Structure formats: C-alpha cells, structure tokens
Amino acid sequence: MASKNKGKIHMRAQWGSNIGFILAAAGSAVGLGNIWKFPGRAYQGGGGAFILIYILIVAFIGAAVLLAELTVGRKTQKNVVGAYKALGHPRWKWVGGMGVLCGYIISCYYIQVGGWVLRYVFSYIFSADAVYADPNGYFSNMLGQNGFPWIGAVVCPLIFISATAVVLLKGISSGIERFSKIVMPALLAILVVLTVRSVTLPGADEGIKYLLTFDWSKLTASTLLSALGQAFYSLSLGMAIMITYGSYLKKEENLVKNTGLICTLDTVIALVAAFMIIPAVFATDVEPGIGGGFAFASLAGVFEKLPVGELFGVLFYLLLLVAALTSEISILEGTTAYVTEQWHWSRKKAIIVLAVSSFVIGIFYTLSQSYLPIKGIWMDITNGVQFPSFGDFMEYVTDRLLMPLGALLFCIFVGWVWKPKHAITEIEQHSVGFRLKKVWTVLIKFVAPAAIFAILVSGLLFGMSLS
C-alpha cells in the first residue's frame, strides 16, 4: 500500500517481485477476450492463417505499444493522467482521461459478465440438467427474458465486484500481486486439463487440423482488422491499465524482457484456449462462435455430450471466472490510481465509489439484453438500428472508438512529442540492453499508429459489423 512517511514525501506502492508483476499483468491481459473471443475469431479467420497473422501483430505492434505503456508508467510513477503532466505535457492529459473513461465503461460490463460466469459455475454444480434442457432459454432467462433478472444482473455481479474490491483494498503487493500468484497458476492448470480432454475426444482431430491449416481465402481485410482489435483488447492496451501497472515497477526491472513475457503468456493462453474450444466443438458438432451466446448457450451442447460433462462445465466456468476477475481487478486499479492521485481521494473511498457506481451502471448492460421494459426503451431510442442493445453500444464505444483513439494518440505522443530517445533512456537504465531500439522507434512512430488508425476508421465507417 502507498504510505506516508513523517515528512511530506509520498512513497508510492510497488510490486513485491518481478514475477508477481508478470502474473498480475498477464492476469489483466488474459481475460474473457482470450477464452471466448479468440478461438471463435481464429475459426472464422481461417484457422492457421489467422493465428499466424495474430502472432505477427502481437510481436510487432502489440509488444511495441505495451513496452511504451510500461515505460511511461515506470518513468513517471504516476497514474495515466498524471503521467502526461509529469512528462511536461499537461495538455495531453485528456488522452489519459479518455483511457480512464474507457476502462471505467469496460468495468461496468465486465462486472456483469463476471457475474454471469459465476452464475454458471453454480448452475453446472447444482442444475446442469436445467441448462442442458434448454441452453438458450436458460441463458436468456438469466438475462431477464421472463422477469427481472435478480440473480444474473444483481446478486452474482455483486459477489463478483465485492471480490474484486476486497483484493484491491488490500493494495498492490498484498492484494493484486498475492491474488495473481495464487490464481494464475490455477488458471493454467485448469486450461491444461480442459485442453487435454478436448484434444483427446473422438473426432477432435478435425478441429486440430482446422487450426493448423492455412486457409488464406478467409483472411480478408476485415479479419485482419479483427485480429488487430483483438490483439489490443487482449493485451489491455489503450486504457489506463498497463501505464498504471508499469508505474509500480522498480527501476531495476527489465522492461523489454517483461514485455516479451507478458505478450508470450497472453498469446500462448489464447492459442491454447483455441485448442481447448475448437476440437471440442468439432467433436460434438457444435457451431463455433464468439461471445455470450456461444460461451453460455452453445457450449452446453459440448458438456452434455461428454462423460462427466458437468465437471468439465464447472472447470470451464471457473477458468473464465479467474480470467475475468484478474482482468476486472486491473481495470478498476487503473481508475483507482487516477482518482486517488488526481482527486486526492483515499484508496478506500475510491475503490468503494468506483465499484458501487460501475456495478449499478452495469446492471443496465444485462437488463438491455433481454429484459423487455429496458430493452424496449433502447429499441425505441435506436429504432433497432445498428446496436441491438445498450450493451452492444457500450462495447462499440470502448472497443471501436475510445480504445483505438486512446492508443493512437498515445503512440503519437511517445513517437513524436515525448520522443523515443527519452523512452529508450528509461528502458536502458541499470545497464539493460535494448538491441531492437531502432526497430521499436519505427514501430511506435509509424507502424503502430497506422494500424490503429485503420481500426478506428473501420469502426467509424462500418460500426459493429466488423467485430
């Protein structure tokens, strides 16, 4: 925890160990995006071809931006808004503010989805038969199709956000870091068990073959953009997160190595998730997909056909729960750092106010999916055009507008305003070597901004249709 000494010097909180930081940052990166979005995208994007392009995007663009975010954080030891001021460019602080806003909106819906995941852990323990009997009906019922969804929108999300707040209240190293050190190995273990089960199912080899086949014809401009957007979302870039996590790093840690480790962990886990989901859906004749309808309803068809399928169901939703919790913790930490440092609130007050308010706003995310009184109002406002629900609208604003805009301006800031040479000085202190500095400079000045610009323009031109 941050503490005050007798004088006026404010000691900032720090990670207790580098491995603790790696696990916390990987916990942020590995989230719902890896498990319920990446496999479906890989399937739609032509298997191996998509995977190859995705890896290249992470290696060249994602890693370059992640390194820049960690560097700005570690250099300034500030939250994302304070960072611009500390670098002598207070006029840029609103870019940081946009990142905070983006994180806050994501937090609102992440809490809800985390709650649904928790609900399904219980469902597979106590009433898997009810899920199997009507997977779509069970899912829409949880979202309020047949009356106010107390459990799906209020009770389970409340438990989820309370757990997040408890970890955050304990601080950086005794809260976030300690929690990540316990649950991230558990996440890996569950992932391995489920993947081994999936690839050894009769008929799974078709799915494995699909993922290893390069079907270039499916790789269109829109799948390329979807890979780019997925990489940014998956690495938690363009928000207040990685700058904030970097700000708790000690000066002697190696930023380049850490960036490589986080990117590798995040990408390997997304790949393994694809080998967990795709072979299983091929083996059980379920249509692969993306998002809630797939993860909650379609997958019931897989678990129903497996021997002791309920057990695998419980493990799968526990995996999602851990992934979602560590991501939500990071999102709220980014906003908390901003509020405590810029508005001078106590950490406790900041966490409680942010947790309660994003929980309350998030309720409308769930209500807008199926609960008619709210869904109806939304339909009246939008006339059913473009965004089928308020939730889709929230995701559009964050993933297609705020996140790419924030990331684009951030790259311009580092590449052209603060200048790469200053970042390189920060990276290279304590005799850390950075052999790729020339390549990185080109990536952050030209390649990354151009790629992010493409995501932004496509979002503006095509709305949700490319997601």
Nearest approach, Cβ of residue 40 and ligand PFF (Å): 13
Instruction: CB nearer to ligand PFF: give 128 or 271.
Output: 271
CA-nearest of 176, 230, 299 to 32 is 230
419 contacts: CB under 8 Å, gap ≥ 6: none
Taking the complex as a whole, how short is the minimal distance between the CB of residue 132 and ligand PFF, in angstroms?
27
Residue 307, classed as helix, strand or coil, is coil
Build a one-symbol-per-residue string for 287-326: x at contacts with ligand PFF by CB under 6 A, - elsewhere: ----------------------------------------
Alpha-carbon distance 22 to 257, whole Å? 10
Compute the distance between CA of residue 412 and CA of residue 143 in angstroms, rounded to an integer.
41
Of 53 and 324, CB closest to ligand PFF = 324
- Applying CB under 6 A, among 13, 23, 29, 95 the residue interacting with ligand PFF is 29
Interface with ligand PFF (CB under 6 A), residue total: 16
335 touches ligand PFF (CB under 6 A)? no
- Min dist CB 106 to ligand PFF, Å, is 5
- Choosing from 103, 157, 175, 207, the residue that interacts with ligand PFF (CB under 6 A) is 103
Provide the β-strand partners of residue 4.
10
Q: What minimum distance in Å lies between the beta carbon of 379 and ligand PFF? A: 28
Which segment (53-61, 113-121, 153-161, 233-241) binds ligand PFF by CB under 6 A? 233-241
Residue 330 interacting with ligand PFF (CB under 6 A): yes
Q: For residue 32, which of 234, 180, 177 has the smallest C-alpha distance?
A: 234
Among 194, 239, 269, 407, binds ligand PFF (CB under 6 A): 239
CB of 153 or CB of 402, closer to ligand PFF? 402
Q: Within positions 124 to 153, which residues make up the interface with ligand PFF, using CB under 6 A?
A: none
Answer yes or no: are the C-beta atoms of 19 and 26 closer than 8 Å: no
Task: Determine if 336 is a binding residue for ligand PFF (CB under 6 A).
Answer: no
Distance from the first to the final alpha carbon of the chain: 39
Chain mean position to CA 399: 10
The C-alpha angle 41, 47, 50, rounded to 5 degrees, equals 65
430: three-class secondary structure by DSSP: coil
* Residue 458 interacts with ligand PFF (CB under 6 A): yes or no: no
For ligand PFF, the closer of residues 279 and 406 by Cβ is 406
Among candidate residues 205, 247, 226, the one with its CA nearest the CA of residue 51: 226
Give the C-alpha separation, 326 to 380, whole Å: 36
Listing DSSP states for 90-136 in one string gives GGGHHHHHHHHHHHHHHHHHHHHHHHHHHHHHHHHHH-HHHHHH-HH
Nearer CB in complex with ligand PFF: 151/331: 331
By CB under 6 A, is residue 241 in contact with ligand PFF? yes
Binding site for ligand PFF (CB under 6 A): 28-29, 31-34, 103, 106, 233-234, 236, 239, 241, 327, 330-331
